[in-house]
Amino acid sequence: MDATSYPRLLGDIGGTNARFALETAPGIIGSLRILPTRDHAGFAEALHTYLTETGTTGLRHAAIGIATAVTGDHVSMTNHPWSFSIAEIRSRFGLDTFLVLNDFTVLALSLPRLPEAELEQIGGTVPRAGAKALIGPGTGLGVSGLLPSAAGWIPLAGEGGHVVFSPCTEEEEALARFARSDLGLSHLSAERLITGSGLELIDRFLASLGQQPDTAPRQAPEISRAGLAGTCPRATAALTLFCTMFGTAAANLALTLGAVGGVYIGGGIIPRFGSFFAASPFRQRFEAQGRLSAYLAPIPVYVIHSPTPALLGASNALDQHLALPQT
């Protein structure tokens, strides 16, 4: 890859913030800017602001991860009104390459490049050669993975967070019934419970059982703060149940992908739980999978504590794309 392919634009676009950076040489990433999406009419306007502020010229290649499914030229965000045409952005900014990938697909591509110091291991032994799994609750439940190939890692783009919720205890069965009634749904996905809004639903469920029932409904940040501080037994119970059920979701993904290369946890929630998560029943539930418990026991789980992992993934996506024969 010759020097004229730099600088390269890397982006991580969420519903609240758009993060942009420049890769000026292999692995050298700087000029990070975080732009609130509400301050810009669209993606093109935010990108124009970034390029103007940084004085960037001669840009030829760009890759971004964005919080929505990407199925064609037209990209429309799920939890934000931004929408755009990939071809129009490429033309407007004079780009040779403009890769737009789902945010968890890009995050998956960061896994081989994450420094060990930015990974917290939760159980297991050492990773083996094979698939890697990625899962992470936030506003939604992101799911992806990496499959090894002779040409490099192949990222998976899917909607695994929408699989049917799998209760494993009578309490979780009762929670599922409560959730269906509360939400007015017949189909209950894992994402309905293992997300920020899911934590709020779990808290309401526990209140319905008589745990501090007079407490007003709370939002996820308040529940997390009280649970982590140990100042509210109901909040602590909600976090514990959340982590336990997340163990089931992570185990299901590991079994589906054969993720002997490790299970990685991203998203905006679990990394904030710190030592609470490590001490929670997550790992116990992860391994408690009947006849396959011995298969799961050595698989390491890693919590990602990198500040901008998606930018590493966007760089990897460009490396792989530009290494392909161009037609």
CA distance 213 to 39: 40
Segments in the chain forming alpha helices (H): 43-54, 86-92, 103-110, 170-183, 196-208, 220-229, 233-257, 275-279, 282-287, 293-296, 309-323
Binding-site residues: 11-16
Reduced to 3 states, what is the DSSP secondary structure of residue 189? Answer: strand
Reduced to 3 states, what is the DSSP secondary structure of residue 297? Answer: coil
CA distance 35 to 40: 8
Binding-site residues for ATP: 11-16
CA distance 214 to 207: 8
Whether cis (ω within 30° of 0) applies to the bond prior to 7 is yes
290 burial class (0-12, 13-18, 19+ CB within 10 angstroms)?
A: exposed
Q: At residue 22, what is the residue type?
A: L
Tell me the β-bridge partners of 146.
132, 155
Q: What residues contact 10, with CB distance under 8 A and at least 6 apart?
A: 20, 21, 22, 23, 29, 62, 63, 64, 311, 314, 315, 318
